[in-house]
Amino acid sequence: MPPASQAARRTAVDVSALLERGRTLATPVLRAAVDRLAPPMDTVAAYHFGWIDAQGRPADGDGGKAVRPALAVLSAEVTGAAPQTGVPGAVAVELVHNFSLLHDDLMDGDEQRRHRDTVWKVHGPAQAILVGDALFALANEVLLELGTVEAGRATRRLTRASRALIDGQAQDISYEHRDRVSVEECLEMEGNKTGALLACASSIGAVLGGADERTADALERYGHHLGLAFQAVDDLLGIWGDPESTGKQTWSDLRQRKKSLPVVAALAADGPAATRLGEILAADAKSSDFANFSEEEFAARAALIEEAGGREWTAEEARRQHTIAIEALDVVDMPDRVREQFTALADFVVVRKR
Ligand SMILES: CC(C)=CCC/C(C)=C/CC/C(C)=C/COP(=O)(O)OP(=O)(O)O
């Protein structure tokens, strides 16, 4: 999605290595935190993170892309600190992120995440709720145990982000039951649901490294717009993603009646496809047979969304947010290498297929 000339300038950054660095630095601390949980929650959490399979045998499962840990350790380098300084922040943010996934899968009734059965499906709803709650509590513990002024500041930012995340989820769920949601409402919801935690991830390492508030706020602005780009792409993948890559069901957002950006943008458009889509979705909302809809029926809805322009509008919005994110870095002093790495992570977010 970035113009070809910019992409060429950025090829020096190995994004896979950046993601791997975030994962490698965070995982031992994450595992030590999870080991503190009482049985069986320690085992259930280990399953969720892909460290064991459903039978409890050691596994090397998909524990997620590690975008947030990568951002957190990179942000420590803005202050001249070592990436390791950002590790407690990386772990805390990853714990909150995974708490939200556990609860989200249960609320949505999603059966697949990261190419495996979801926790509520394997271990039951009670474990999904309890382990989610426990990860949330652990996130605060991991930061506050540092006992520093910086850790207190980081915890305040994380708590604020968590509240926004929960608000965003509440908005998202309420929109499923509404016929009409405006594009502005959808963007506000996505900024809360996804932008807030990516904003926190992008600044938390810098905060732990002693960054002033202005620097932390600018990094948060980068992360917020990165989050909006990220969620726009997630919304595209939620309809047109390949389950082999996403690790989720086909048409996952349509099955859930999500008012995601492509749907909302399509409904807001003029023309026969938008009108027809509005009629069909209104009828779907009343249908008692929705759970049994065929692949073809979902494909027909996806085609109408595309015809009304919702797919292209959302892809353009991802590009727009990507640009704003990178521009937000202009006011922050940081080594060129670190700036290039933030930029490369933003590029990755808009071209990802999973
Ligand atoms: C309170 C509550 C239940 C909130 C739910 C909020 C929620 C699920 C928001 C969606 C965020 C998102 C894009 C997740 C996928 O992240 P990712 O693609 O980085 O996931 P990965 O770690 O698997 O790669």
pLDDT in tens, 175-205: 998 989 999 999 999 999 999 999 999 999 9
pLDDT in tens, 281-323: 999 999 988 888 999 999 999 999 999 999 999 999 999 999 9
Q: Are 228 and 199 in contact (CB under 8 A)?
A: no
Alpha carbons 23 and 65: distance in angstroms, whole number: 8
Q: Can you tell me which atom of ligand 1 is nearest the CA of 101?
A: 8
Token pair of 46, please? 């280990």
Per-residue pLDDT, 264:
98
Our answer on whether the CB atom of 27 is closer than 6 Å to any ligand 1 atom is no
Alpha carbons 33 and 217: distance in angstroms, whole number: 28
Query: Which candidate, 149, 136, 139, places its Cα nearest to that of 208?
Result: 149
Mutate to test the pocket of ligand 1, among 95, 97, 99, 101 (most ligand atoms within 8 A of CB): 101
Our answer on whether the CB atom of 64 is closer than 6 Å to any ligand 1 atom is yes
Q: Are 227 and 199 in contact (CB under 8 A)?
A: yes
pLDDT in tens, 29-87: 999 999 999 999 999 999 999 999 999 999 999 999 999 999 999 999 999 999 999 99
C-alpha 101 – ligand 1 centre gap (Å)? 5
Our answer on whether the CB atom of 166 is closer than 6 Å to any ligand 1 atom is yes
Which has the minimum average pLDDT: 104-118, 150-164, 242-256? 242-256
Backbone angles phi, psi at 58, to 5 degrees: -55, 140
Our answer on whether the CB atom of 65 is closer than 6 Å to any ligand 1 atom is yes
Per-residue pLDDT, 291:
83
pLDDT at residue 4 greater than cutoff 90? no
Confidence of residue 5 (pLDDT cuts 50, 70, 90): very low
C-alpha 267 – ligand 1 centre gap (Å)? 25
Over the chain, what is the mean pLDDT?
A: 95
Confidence of residue 250 (pLDDT cuts 50, 70, 90): confident
Per-residue pLDDT, 248:
86
Our answer on whether the CB atom of 219 is closer than 6 Å to any ligand 1 atom is no
Our answer on whether the CB atom of 48 is closer than 6 Å to any ligand 1 atom is no
The verdict on pTM exceeding 0.80 is yes
Per-residue pLDDT, 129:
98
Percent of the chain with pLDDT over 90: 92
Rounded alpha-carbon distances, angstroms, from residue 218 to 68, 143, 211, 324 = 17, 22, 11, 12
Our answer on whether the CB atom of 105 is closer than 6 Å to any ligand 1 atom is no
Q: What is the mean pLDDT of residues 122-143?
A: 98
Which residue owns the Cα nearest ligand 1 atom 22? Answer: 64
Q: What is the mean pLDDT of residues 17-21?
A: 98
Alpha carbons 156 and 335: distance in angstroms, whole number: 27
pLDDT in tens, 319-351: 999 999 999 999 999 999 999 999 999 999 999
Tell me whether residue 337 is exposed, middle or buried, using C-beta atoms within 10 angstroms of its C-beta: 0 to 12, 13 to 18, 19 or more.
Answer: exposed
Our answer on whether the CB atom of 225 is closer than 6 Å to any ligand 1 atom is no
Our answer on whether the CB atom of 114 is closer than 6 Å to any ligand 1 atom is yes
Our answer on whether the CB atom of 235 is closer than 6 Å to any ligand 1 atom is no
pLDDT at residue 126 greater than cutoff 60? yes
pLDDT at residue 254 greater than cutoff 90? yes
